[in-house]
Amino acid sequence: MLPQEIIRKRRDGEPLARQELEFFFQEFMEGNVSDEQMTALLMASFYAPPTMDEALALTDIFIRSGSRIDLSAIPGVKVDKHSTGGVGDKTSLLLVPIAAAAGVRVPMISGRALGHTGGTLDKLESIPGFNVHPPPSAIVRQLSEIGMVMAGQSADIVPLDRRIYALRDVTSTVEILPFIAASIMSKKIAGGADALVLDIKAGRGAFMRERVQAEELALLLAGVGRHFDLPTVGIITNMDEPLGYAIGNWLEVVEVVDCLQGRETPDLMEVTYALAGLMIHLGRKAQTVSEGIAVARDVVRRGLAFEKFLELVHAQGGDPSYIQETLRYRNAEAAVEVVALCSGVLHGVDARALGLLAVELGAGRKQPTDEIDPTAGIVLAKKIGEHVEEDEVLCRLYSSAAHDLVHFRERVREAFSIGDREIPRADKIFSYFDSDTIVPWSPESRAP
């Protein structure tokens, strides 16, 4: 078989047989298919997306590129969660300690920043000392001892995704539904979870701009889950504006600490509690999703989730003193404010534009080998629907990598649109789905 012939078939929209996919990806892992050829296949797949059968084959090939973690010796339902990627989306950092404080075991396998969206692993690595690559034996031990672990795919777990993810990130080939499905589901299946909760983002800051695309992806992911015996449910959530206030790695950790200490950001916690309710219900620690949400609120209110977060940081080699006292962290070397040029009501905050600007400030990568500046990012001062006075601060920019922040100001300001009239609050959570159905979201939605 010739790699270029496989690329041609993909380009011309011809289905690829499982053996062809296997050959192409195995040869890539062995260095006989180049990054250029893989990128060509990815770009061709953007225009001629793989079928459901190919998505299943890809998921399987991804899983078999490494080993699977066996968690069967650990009692209880192990529940993982994944988001398709958003701006300011720090829900995973909240959900792991919340669900664990509620008694659910959470083996979370996460990814890095992708395109204009942030990555859980990069956020965790902003915590001094935090190790996101514990070996599989340590993952199993930690899960059994403290009920939670947050790790990345590695040389052991889905190494193929790690390499392809990095290429997709820098070649504008993220938005291919079957590749998103294979990337997410392979990590979750190899990670050994018994059940999965998904957050599919829809809107201008998501990879799926339209809700119908998000719904298509939701059913694809849940269908792959069913094929591999991993019960998968989730919600489709609004990603028109960033979630919460902070965008950027350490800045987001600080917002997580605030929320776990009771200074809750409303939109962020609305989505977090819905996901936590699903996780706690799937983990059999609540009879219904609404009871799961009540449990989640309770463990945050009583400070148990914050205690769990400290325990997680400590267990993975991080320094909990930075979490206890976030002001200890070094400041970004440069900071500027962006103010409103007129008074009115905030009608829009373009999440995608801010996500891209945050990458330029140093919060993400332009090349796979780029170092991230953990202090870089944007902190919003206003959310959509709020009143703004002329000269009032809309957001603050931080960076230690890009010192000349003043030229960013105008570009950042363009991401904010201000109008005269009041606007209704947009829904944050649109729908609930499992492998059979998509229905409008309500906490009464039943998970299987």
**Nearest by Cα to 247 from 150, 359, 97:** 359
Per-residue binding letters, 155-194, with ligand URA (x by CB under 6 A) = -------------------------x--xx----------
Show contacts with ligand URA in window 291-350 (CB under 6 A): none
> In the complex with ligand URA, which residue's Cβ is closer, 111 or 134?
111
Residue 386 tokens, joined: 């709020």
Cβ of residue 285: shortest distance to ligand URA, in angstroms? 26
* Residue number with CB closer to ligand URA (180 or 197): 180
Catalytic residue list contains 126: no
**Closest separation between CB of residue 187 and ligand URA, Å?**
6
For the CB of residue 111, give the shortest distance to ligand URA in the complex, in Å: 4
Nearer to ligand URA, 207 or 416 (CB): 207
Active-site residue, selected from the candidate residues 168, 201, 352, 365: 168
Encoded tokens for 392: 């009032």
Catalytic residue among 161, 199, 240, 434: 161
Q: Is 365 a catalytic residue?
A: no
208 binds ligand URA (CB under 6 A): no
Among 71, 93, 104, 114, binds ligand URA (CB under 6 A): 114
Nearer to ligand URA, 85 or 355 (CB): 85
Number of residues near ligand URA (by CB under 6 A): 7
183 is known as an active-site residue? yes
Residue closer to ligand URA by CB (options 183, 431) is 183
Under rule CB under 6 A, residue 84 binds ligand URA: yes
- Least distance (Å) from ligand URA to the CB of residue 2? 27
Asked if 118 is part of the footprint of ligand URA (rule: CB under 6 A), the reply reads no
Which residues are CB-neighbours of 377 under 8 A, at least 6 positions away?
246, 247, 248, 249, 250, 251, 252, 358, 361, 363, 397, 398, 399
Taking the complex as a whole, how short is the minimal distance between the CB of residue 358 and ligand URA, in angstroms?
17
Query: Is 82 labeled as catalytic in the residue annotation?
Result: yes
Whether 81 and 210 have beta carbons less than 8 Å apart is answered as no
Q: What is the per-residue DSSP string for 119-171?
A: -HHHHHHTSTT--S---HHHHHHHHHHHSEEEEE--SSS-HHHHHHHHHHHHT
Helix (H, G, I), strand (E, B), or coil: what is residue 316?
coil
Count CA within 13 A, CB hemisphere, residue 361.
36
Confirm or reject binding of residue 111 to ligand URA (CB under 6 A).
yes
Nearest residue (CB) to ligand URA, 108 versus 405: 108
Contact between 375 and 400 under an 8 Å Cβ cutoff? The reply is yes
Nearest to 215 by CA among 236, 187, 194: 236
> Which DSSP letter does residue 209 get?
-
Token pair for 313 = 């940081």
Q: Which is nearer to ligand URA, 84 or 265 (CB)?
A: 84
In the complex, minimum distance from the CB of residue 385 to ligand URA, in angstroms, rounded to a whole number: 28
Work out the burial of residue 357: count CB atoms within 10 Å of its CB; fewer than 13 is exposed, 13-18 middle, 19 or more buried. buried
Q: Which residue is nearest to ligand URA (CB)?
A: 183
| CA–CA separation, 196 and 210 (whole Å) | 23
Check residue 283 for interaction with ligand URA (CB under 6 A).
Answer: no
CA–CA distance, 107 with 119 (Å, rounded to integer): 17
The CA distances from residue 253 to 120, 186, 270, 323, 380, in Å, are: 10, 27, 18, 8, 15
How many of the other CB atoms lie within 10 Å of CB of 381?
16
Which one is catalytic: 187, 211, 352, 365? Answer: 187
Concerning whether 123 is annotated as a catalytic residue, the answer is no
Where in the sequence numbering do the catalytic residues fall? Answer: 82, 161, 168, 183, 187
Q: Could you list the residues that contact ligand URA (CB under 6 A)?
A: 84-85, 111, 114, 180, 183-184
